[in-house]
Structure 1
Amino acid sequence: MMEKKKLLGEERRTKLLHILQTSEQPVTGSELSQITNVSRQVIVGDITLLKARNEPIIATSQGYMYLQTGNTQKPERTIACQHDPSRAQEELFLLVDIGITVKDVKIEHPVYGDLTASIMVSSRKEVQQFLTKVTATNASFLSELTSGIHLHTLSASSEELLDEAENALKNAGILVD
């Protein structure tokens, strides 16, 4: 049986960049490590180097994504919400069911200042994967550090959908005015 070739340094980073740029779905560090025949930790270091070169790579709960740039920019809006952790699924399902992509969650920490984490969920399946990962890792929601207050960057195909999302969150008692 032939052993897979380990990709080295710049050749590996070029391969990683190509994979991320051509993938329509997030790619996990484990998948990238299998493709390049290196450890997941090496992949984390490579991604850090690529980000330092201003490559628009983000880490989401589903894996790494390359943010495509171009003239197809969708409308975005930042909203403020407040709820306890038991309503996270309700909030996210409400948004994705309208056709919203929840890009991130942000809080203002009293010591560290602004903290932002990428979520990038746009379907119930992605929400479920995100929440399963939170539970499986026994992680806390960022909003637990701020009495449930947090911001989300929302993206949609139209301003009308963003308006609809805000109204739905307001009706659910989640939106902070």
Structure 2
Amino acid sequence: MAEEMKLTGAERRKQLLIWLKESRTPLTGSELAKKSAVSRQVIVQDISLLKAKNEPIIATSQGYMYLHSQASEKQPVTRIIACEHGPERAEEELNLIVDFGVTVKDVIIEHPVYGDLTASIRVNTRKEVSDFIKKISSTNAAYLSQLTNGIHLHTLEAATEEKIDQACEALKKANILIPE
């Protein structure tokens, strides 16, 4: 750890990239700060600098992730869907989606002043959904959809079109999916 404390900013950012690229799960700013022996605010600044250099890093509700190129792998299928429900049904909605092996990448609303607002969610298991809901609750944060009377979009991602179709059918039965 003593050696890591002597890293320059550039060396630390290089090490952050290595950790993010090696991890298949999100890494929190606090975890990265502890590993780097710096404050979480320094990590936030480092991540901003890396993003400014076009490093594909995203901030999710679970932490930072490096978006790996999938050129050699089969590209996942994505679809944007429209939903409507109150905040009390957010966990139900997300669980209905992830139960079919579908990832909820984000939530998008159309704000009357700011236009489209997008927030990364990146949940694909019931545990991640539960953690996300707990974080919203424990911070007393509002769901973005509360700004639009429950109307919002999600970008879904899955290995196959059929998985997304199944999730959409479950949302339709639950009266959450807005018909096209």
TM range (shorter): over 0.9
User: How many residues were matched structurally?
Assistant: 176
Q: How does 1:1-177 map to 2 (within 5 A)?
A: 3=2, 5-6=4-5, 7-71=7-71, 72=73, 73-177=75-179
1: distance between equivalents of 2:69 and 2:150? 33
Which 5+ residue runs of structure 2 have no aligned equivalent? none
Whole-Å Cα distance in 1 between the matches of residues 8 and 111 of structure 2? 39
- Between 87-96 and 162-171, report the one with greater CA deviation: 162-171
CA RMSD of aligned residues (A): 1.1
Q: Deviations over 1:111-155 (max 9, x none)?
A: 111110000000000000001100111100000000000000001
| Partners of 2:4 and 2:166 in 1: CA distance | 51
User: How many Å separate the matches in 1 of 2:2 and 2:27?
Assistant: 23
> Which whole-Å CA distance do the structure 1 matches of 2:103 and 2:80 have between them?
12
Please state whether the residue corresponding to 1:98 is helix, strand or coil.
Answer: coil
Q: CA deviation at 1:5?
A: 3.8
Query: What is the letter of the counterpart of residue 170 of structure 1?
Result: K
Q: Give me the whole-angstrom Cα distance separating, in 1, the residues matched to 2:50 and 2:4.
A: 22
Tell me the CA shift for residue 4 of structure 1: 6.1
**Amino acid paired to 1:17:** L
Name the aligned partner's letter for residue 114 of structure 1.
D
Q: Which runs of 5+ in 1 are unaligned?
A: none
Distance 1:117 1:45 in 2: 19
Q: TM-score, normalised by structure 1?
A: 0.96
Q: 1:5 to 1:68 in 2, by over 3 A?
A: closer
The range that moved more, 137-146 or 62-71, is 62-71
Moved over 6 A (4+): none
The Cα of 1:69 is off from its aligned counterpart by 1.1
* Secondary structure class of the residue paired with 1:92: helix
- State whether residues 4 and 37 of structure 1, in contact with CA within 8 Å, keep that contact through their aligned partners in structure 2: no
Q: Give distance in 1, aligned partners of 2:101 and 2:88.
A: 22
Cα distance in structure 2, aligned partners of 1:4 and 1:127: 38
